[in-house]
Amino acid sequence: MNKDTILGFFFIFLILVGYSWYVAPSEEDIAQQKVEMARQDSLNEVRKEQSRIAETERKMMKAADDVGNQQSTESNNAVVSDSMLNDMQLQKFGGFAAMSHGEEKEITIENDKIKIRVSTKGGNITYAELKEYHTYDTMPLVLFDKNTASISYLLNDKRVESKSLYFEPIAKSDSRVEDSIYVHEGETYSFAMRIYPNDNNGKVLKDKYLEFAYTITGDDYMIDYNLNMQGMSDFVAPGLNDIPLYLNMDMLSMEKDPKQEAKQTAIFYRYSGDDESVDELSLTSMDEEKEDLSTKVKWISFKQQFFSFVIIADESFAKAEIVQEGNEESANSRFLKNMKADISVPLSNNSEFQSVAMHMYMGPNKYSELKKYELDLERMVPLGWGFFLLHWINRVVVIPVFHALSGFGWNYGIIILVLTLLLKVVLFPIAYKTYMSSAKMRVLKPEIDELAKKFPKKEDSVKKQQATMSLYKKAGVNPMAGCVPMLLQMPILFALFRFFPAAIELRQQSFLWADDLSAYDSIYSWTQQIPLLSTFYGNHISLFTLLMTVSTILYTRMNNQMMASNQQMPGMKTMMYLMPIMFLGFFNNYASGLSYYYFLANIITFSQMYLMRRFVDEDAIRAKLEANKKKPVKKSKFQARLEEMAKQKGVKK
């Protein structure tokens, strides 16, 4: 073995040693592995416990079958004693075995706005109906139903949930518990659903309890909901600082267009703190969306297009995990999305009696209704919160005026007409300034055309531009003056684009051929799927959208005829005609109230332009521009400062 071979083996040995040292786990990795192994061991223990419970249930079911068979056949088969059944129940339900059987019964409470049912099984709400509203197909609007939604607490490490236990109705504040209670305006009704623990022998301990206390006020969608516990620290979440609350809801369609409704359905939430803003999971996505809310949460909402179920903490929830999921097929059916929330409700285990105050809102996404609770719930209404100017226009101007007009009892089609007229009157000075700018450009158009003939070559484009700007300066015309007023109107147009589809006041309100101003208006529809057309346009024809598109094209044509710069921007001219056609597919499936507003706005603009063109004297404008040309050109302050600085530096003019 020569020297080179020995050196080769030596370096290979060094490389292997170095690599082994490099890939060796750190102390943190080793600690993490130990934690993971401990977690897996815990999971295995849980699986074993679940298997044991399942086996116990199987034996209990078999024993019950054996008892039934014996009673029916009076055979001499072995009888399972009551003590054995009690032992089985104790193994499964622990300290709540006594509450694991009973009679399921529902108590109905209603006021002028909402009707709810609370079941003795689970002790929570199993039904919530909004009495002032109905679905698109005229059925009762049920926001919460036990077949599609559930509320349950995980009570202890035996995986006992409150929805599996039977509660006892308890009267509160000298109230009575009846099968049906009506709470009138100005009244308040309180009652509770209560369970008691038992000792290891199955004896019920009446001096201890867990209860869900409800307070319903007449003429209100908000329900006070308290979790009260007396001496339950050994039975409910023993040794833990919080108790898990599980919410699960299948969001069902209530509107004319489930596909559009699904795009407005999502989980909204707000962290605790005065400066915290409202956030949400994706509105448009149909894939699974998940978010861990690791800090204190004020409220969580399962929000649909026009209605919401909201759970609100009086103080705050410790944390939460929220999940929503849908798919493209579900958006075309009555099922929109599934929503889940795993909420950690904080406890104070050092207290013999503890109460966690919460609230439930089950009602419409109406701005004025949500605003009065001062919890930022109104931010679920899409008014353009991402851009401050949009929501300020809607909150300060549009919504107050809209509600004031609603007070007259008019049809909402008339209200939109009056609202449009008022906005056009307010914006008339801007429209007038825009028209005057275009009139000045029309007067100067012959001279602009002469400059185009004087500089026909492309290489003279800079000279032509300089000559054109010099002409504008002498005549005292600002070519951008017409753009600024138009830009000032854009926030209002965008604000109304947000307002009309979100206004629950327009829901199921008919006008002319439209049966619902919050959804599309269809004058003709078909079921056959046509490639591209059905995807981008839809399977119906919305007349208000057609009228809006035609009026926009006519307005564009009239505007192009009035403007002097069309020949300079032929590509822009073509784009201005294509834009209304491109938006046709989008607005065809949108709220007809919005298309109706844009159509009215175009018609009123036509009328304004016709009147201004008739009464504005363009000869007088021409004379004024000619007079401006004879005046010395006034330097701007900026230009004067530049020349002064150049003079001080010795630069000749």
Stronger pLDDT, 621 or 166, i.e. the higher one: 166
524 DSSP β-pair partners: 541
Mean pLDDT to the nearest integer, 311-338: 84
Residue 564 lies in a domain: yes
Query: For residue range 124-183, what is the model confidence (pLDDT) as tens digits?
Result: 999 999 999 999 988 999 999 999 999 999 998 778 899 999 999 998 766 677 888 999
The burial of 450, by beta-carbon neighbours within 10 Å (0-12 exposed, 13-18 middle, 19 or more buried), is given as exposed
Mean pLDDT to the nearest integer, 268-297: 88
Helix (H, G, I), strand (E, B) or coil at 593: helix
Same domain, 611 and 585: yes
Same domain, 256 and 161: yes
The H or E element containing residue 87 is: helix 82-93
- Crossing angle of the two packed helices 399-406 and 412-426, in degrees rounded to 10: 140
Of all residues in the chain, what percent carry a pLDDT higher than 70?
Answer: 74
Helix (H, G, I), strand (E, B) or coil at 385: coil
pLDDT greater than 50 at residue 207: yes
pTM of the model: 0.76
Mean pLDDT to the nearest integer, 238-247: 89
Q: How far, in Å, CA of 60 to CA of 62, rounded? A: 5
Same domain, 458 and 373: no
Residue 41 lies in a domain: yes
Same domain, 161 and 39: no
Mean pLDDT to the nearest integer, 191-215: 91
Same domain, 365 and 498: no
Mean pLDDT to the nearest integer, 439-468: 72
Question: Do residues 602 and 552 make contact, with C-beta atoms less than 8 angstroms apart?
Answer: yes
Residue 21 lies in a domain: no
Strands (E), 236-326: 242-252, 266-271, 278-280, 289-293, 297-303, 307-317, 319-325
pLDDT band at 632 (very low <50, low <70, confident <90, very high): low
Q: What is the reported pLDDT for 131? A: 94
Same domain, 54 and 122: no
Same domain, 404 and 485: yes
Q: CATH number of the domain at 152, please.
A: 2.70.98.90
Mean pLDDT to the nearest integer, 222-244: 90
Same domain, 363 and 440: no
Strand ranges of the sheet holding 289-293, from the earlier edge strand across to the other edge: 149-153, 242-252, 335-346, 319-325, 289-293
3-state secondary structure 227-246: EEEECCCCCCCCCCCEEEEE
Q: What is the reported pLDDT for 182? A: 93
Mean pLDDT to the nearest integer, 26-45: 54
Stronger pLDDT, 57 or 562, i.e. the higher one: 562
Q: How far, in Å, CA of 31 to CA of 27, rounded? A: 6
Q: What is the reported pLDDT for 5? A: 56
Residue 10 lies in a domain: no
Stronger pLDDT, 476 or 54, i.e. the higher one: 476
Amino acid at 200: N
Q: What is the reported pLDDT for 410? A: 92
Question: Which stretches of 315-408 are DSSP H helices?
Answer: 328-331, 367-371, 388-393, 399-406
Question: Which stretches of 460-591 are DSSP H helices?
Answer: 461-475, 483-502, 533-536, 543-562, 570-587
pLDDT greater than 70 at residue 527: yes
If one counts the domains in the chain, the total is 3
Residue 460 lies in a domain: yes
pLDDT greater than 50 at residue 455: yes
Q: What is the reported pLDDT for 609? A: 82
Mean pLDDT to the nearest integer, 259-268: 91
Of all residues in the chain, what percent carry a pLDDT higher than 90?
Answer: 39
Q: What is the reported pLDDT for 62? A: 55
Residue 208 lies in a domain: yes
Domain ranges, residue 616 = 392-507+518-630
The mean predicted confidence, pLDDT, of the chain is 80
Residue 140 lies in a domain: yes
pLDDT band at 581 (very low <50, low <70, confident <90, very high): confident
pLDDT greater than 70 at residue 645: no
| Boundary-marking domain end, from 381, 416, 448 | 381
pLDDT greater than 50 at residue 81: no
Q: What is the reported pLDDT for 2? A: 52
Q: What is the reported pLDDT for 57? A: 53
Residue 87 lies in a domain: no
Q: What is the reported pLDDT for 75? A: 42
Mean pLDDT to the nearest integer, 195-199: 91
Mean pLDDT to the nearest integer, 51-56: 55
Q: Pick the range with the lowest mean pLDDT from 34-43, 247-256, 554-563.
A: 34-43
Q: What is the reported pLDDT for 173? A: 67
Same domain, 274 and 295: yes
Same domain, 40 and 170: no
Same domain, 61 and 147: no
Mean pLDDT to the nearest integer, 408-423: 93
310 DSSP β-pair partners: 301, 361
Q: What is the reported pLDDT for 243? A: 92
Q: What is the reported pLDDT for 146? A: 92
Same domain, 41 and 155: no
Q: What is the reported pLDDT for 538? A: 80
| Boundary-marking domain end, from 381, 404, 434 | 381
pLDDT band at 650 (very low <50, low <70, confident <90, very high): low
Stronger pLDDT, 20 or 541, i.e. the higher one: 541
